[in-house]
Every structure is written in C-alpha cells, then in structure tokens.
C-alpha cells in the first residue's frame, strides 16, 4: 500500500488546507481551524487498481478526494461485485464508520492514481462532539447517501436495463462530464463490465443497451470516454415502459 506520511512541504501544507476547505464538511471553517485540522489529516496516495480498504477492514477513517477517482463496491460470497458508486474530486467516502461493528461494509478501490485526505475516526468523533454544526453536516452527508441508495434501488426495480444505463450515464454527465462540441464527455475509465455491475445487468445486456443508446443519438461512443447527449438521455429515460 502506497501511503504518504513524511513531513509536508510548505506547498503541500497549503494545498492540504485548500482541499479541506473545498469539501462540503469544512467549507465554512475559518483558516486557522483548517490549519489546525490539517495536522491530523495526512495525504495518502494510491495507484490505479490499488485497494484503499477491503470489506470488514476496521472502519478507522473517512476520506476526501484531493484528486483521482474511487470505486466503492460490495463483494458477495459467490464472487460477484456490485458497484455502489464512483467518487470524484472533493467527494467523501468511508463515512459509514460510526457503527457498533466498526467494520467496513464495502470495499474502496482507486480507479486511477488517487490522492486522498485521511481524517482518522478518533479525530472525527472528537470534532462531532465539539462542533454541533459539523455533526449536523455529517448527518446530512449520511442522509444524502441513504437517499441516493434508495433512489437507485427504486430505479433498478422500476426501469429496464437500457433506461438504468441511460440514468447512470446521465448522472455521470452531471457529476463528471465536460461539455464539448460533440456532446458531454465523461472522463471515467469504466469498462462495460463495470457498468454491468452498477446497473445489475450482464455485460452483454450493457453492450446491447449502449448500441441502442447510440442508435437513439443519446451517446456517441460505446466505450470510455463516453460522449453523451444529456437531453436525449433524459428523453430516453422518460419514454421507458
């Protein structure tokens, strides 16, 4: 595991404070408070494909992305994997750590070279006790995760596989996409197998669905980086029966 624990340079120290300020939990903190917090929140670096934590590992920290991409997934005894989400810059994950079991309910893996800000569990618990506004924000973060999970479960049961894929690409376009002359380009290194694990379908179904979306003009590419037409994706989802 490639961790980073040596003394921070002045540039890295300033960068760490800046990136803490860019997170939703600490965006309203004063600079002096962020400087103090940064002394207990080191950077950790992971190479593409490296596991950040496994299922059942101790829930010992919450993470914020300085840069890179992280895949959060759940593994099952039969070897299957369900991808629960992809986290990008300034996003947080690993927040489900204040439970009696104190074990990770899912796995986190770096999709590309990634730098994380690590907030140890003990430090988080102290902050939540000392700062009620932060505790409220933390509750809101967890509530948002629950809402997203419930919404996705509803889509899985209510929509066809092509519509679920269209919905997934639409959300990726909103979160990670950049507008270009040919559409919204989604810079995520996700394979068709990855997409199948995210929508609960086979890779063959995903392949057929991508080709259908391309025929409908909702996407321009069937492989990453995907180029999508957000309006046509919305129309495709709305027309699903």
The CATH number of 159-238 is: 1.10.10.10
119-176 confidence digits (pLDDT tens): 999 999 999 999 999 999 998 888 888 887 777 777 767 889 999 999 999 999 998 8
Tens digit of pLDDT for each residue in 69-87?
A: 999 998 888 888 888 888 9
List, in sequence order, every residue forming a beta bridge with 69; answer none if it has no partner: none
Q: Which of 16, 10, 1 is nearest to 116 (CA)?
A: 16
8 A C-beta contact, residue 172 and residue 185: no
User: What tokens appear for 66 in the block?
Assistant: 């300085």
Report how far residue 48's alpha carbon sits from residue 65's, in angstroms, rounded to the nearest whole number. 14
Residue 187 has pLDDT above 70, yes or no: yes
Query: Domain map of the chain by residue range?
Result: 10-150, 159-238
Pick the CATH number of 10-150 from 2.60.40.3080, 2.40.160.20, 2.60.120.10, 1.20.1260.10: 2.60.120.10
- Full-model pTM: 0.80
- pLDDT for 36 beyond 50: yes
Burial class (CB in 10 A: 0-12, 13-18, 19+), 154: exposed
């Amino acid at each position: 595991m490639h961790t980073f624990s040596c003394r921070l340079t002045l540039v890295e120290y300033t960068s760490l404070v800046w990136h803490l300020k860019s997170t939703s939990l600490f965006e309203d903190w004063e600079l002096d408070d962020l400087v103090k917090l940064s002394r207990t929140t080191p950077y950790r670096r992971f190479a593409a494909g490296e596991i950040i934590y496994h299922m059942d590992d101790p829930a010992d920290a919450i993470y914020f992305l300085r840069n890179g991409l992280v895949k959060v997934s759940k593994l099952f005894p039969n070897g299957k994997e369900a991808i629960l989400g992809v986290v990008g810059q300034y996003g947080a994950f690993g927040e489900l750590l204040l439970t009696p079991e104190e074990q990770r309910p899912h796995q986190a893996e770096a999709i590309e070279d990634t730098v994380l800000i690590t907030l140890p569990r003990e430090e988080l618990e102290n902050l939540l006790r000392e700062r009620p506004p932060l505790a409220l924000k933390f509750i809101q973060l967890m509530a948002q995760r629950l809402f997203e999970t419930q919404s996705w479960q509803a889509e899985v049961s209510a929509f066809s596989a092509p519509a679920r894929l269209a919905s997934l690409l639409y959300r990726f376009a909103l979160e990670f996409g950049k507008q270009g002359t040919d559409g919204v380009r989604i810079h995520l290194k996700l394979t068709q197998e990855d997409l199948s694990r995210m929508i609960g379908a086979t890779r063959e179904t995903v392949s057929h669905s991508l080709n259908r979306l391309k025929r409908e003009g909702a996407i321009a590419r069937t492989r990453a980086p995907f180029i999508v037409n957000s309006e046509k994706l919305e129309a495709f989802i709305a027309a699903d029966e």
